[in-house]
Amino acid sequence: MSKNNETFWEEMFTYYAQIKNPSQEDIVALLREIQEAIGCIPKTFQERAATCMKTSPVLISTIIKKYPSLKEESFQHEIRVCTGPCCTSKGSLEIQKELQNLLHIETNQVTKDQRIYLTTQCCMKHCKKGPNLMINGKVFHGLTKERVIELLQDLPPLSFL
Ligand code: FES
């Protein structure tokens, strides 16, 4: 099953959620699996790991910092496409596909230049204005493929280039 498939992640998190009183080793094992699939452990996945392991995102972040082999976010911009029912009925899945094509990645992956991380969110609470997406926490409404290209072009380049 593809690691970019939400079912893959649901199965993984369900598996780890069954562990009673998870140890730090269990948490590290889950974090390693996330990193293996994505290349780093983005905030959204830290939050999911915390819920799954019945702990806080702060502890998850502390564990990541403690293990040099584990990496937090290693990208500059996060793009979240809304995959809630209203937005999908207005074409957000086509927007998601367009972004995958433009960035040459699947969802829940980071671009080769480590610049952009593409992910999804189920509803951003702006259903009437969809299809919506969020860039670095800011929501953009009524998206079209043309508008997505403009938004990508407006993103600042890597700071070290
Ligand atoms: S479904 Fe997209 S904002 Fe609610």
| Spacing, Cα 140 to ligand 1 middle (Å) | 11
Q: Tell me the C-alpha distance between 85 and 88, whole Å.
A: 5
Name the band, by pLDDT with cuts 50, 70 and 90, for residue 132. very high
Nearest to 115 by CA among 93, 145, 136: 136
| Residue 92 covered by a domain | yes
The answer to whether residues 142 and 129 touch, using CB atoms and an 8 Å cutoff, is yes
Residues 6+ apart with CB under 8 A from 92: 81, 82, 83, 84, 130, 131, 132, 133, 143
Query: Percentage of the chain with pLDDT > 70?
Result: 94
**Which numbered atom of ligand 1 lies nearest the CA of 126?**
3
CATH code for position 102? 3.40.30.10
Judged against a pLDDT cut of 60, whether residue 86 lies above it is answered with yes
Is there a single domain that holds both residue 49 and residue 15? Answer: yes
Among 66, 97, 115, the domain boundary falls at 66
Q: Identify the domain containing residue 86 by its residue range.
A: 77-154
**Structure pTM?**
0.67
| Residue 1 covered by a domain | no
Residue nearest to atom 1 of ligand 1 (CA): 84
Burial of 31 (0-12, 13-18, 19+ CB in 10 A): buried
Judged against a pLDDT cut of 60, whether residue 158 lies above it is answered with no
For the residues 80-102, what does the mean pLDDT come to? 97
Q: Which residue has the higher pLDDT, 51 or 108?
A: 51
Is there a single domain that holds both residue 57 and residue 104? Answer: no
Judged against a pLDDT cut of 50, whether residue 118 lies above it is answered with yes
Name the pairing type of β-strands 133-135 and 138-140: antiparallel
Is there a single domain that holds both residue 49 and residue 116? Answer: no
According to DSSP, residue 146 is labeled H
Report the number of distinct structural domains present in the chain: 2
| Residue 71 covered by a domain | no
* Per-chain mean pLDDT for the chain: 90
Radius of gyration over every alpha carbon of the chain, rounded to an integer in angstroms:
16
CATH code for position 48? 1.10.10
pLDDT, residue 64, reads 95
For the residues 107-132, what does the mean pLDDT come to? 91
| Spacing, Cα 142 to ligand 1 middle (Å) | 11
Is there a single domain that holds both residue 126 and residue 60? Answer: no
- Ligand 1 environment, Cβ below 6 A: 82, 84-87, 123-127, 130, 132
| Residue 159 covered by a domain | no
What pLDDT, in 10s, does the model give residues 2-40?
A: 555 678 889 999 999 999 999 999 999 999 999 988 778
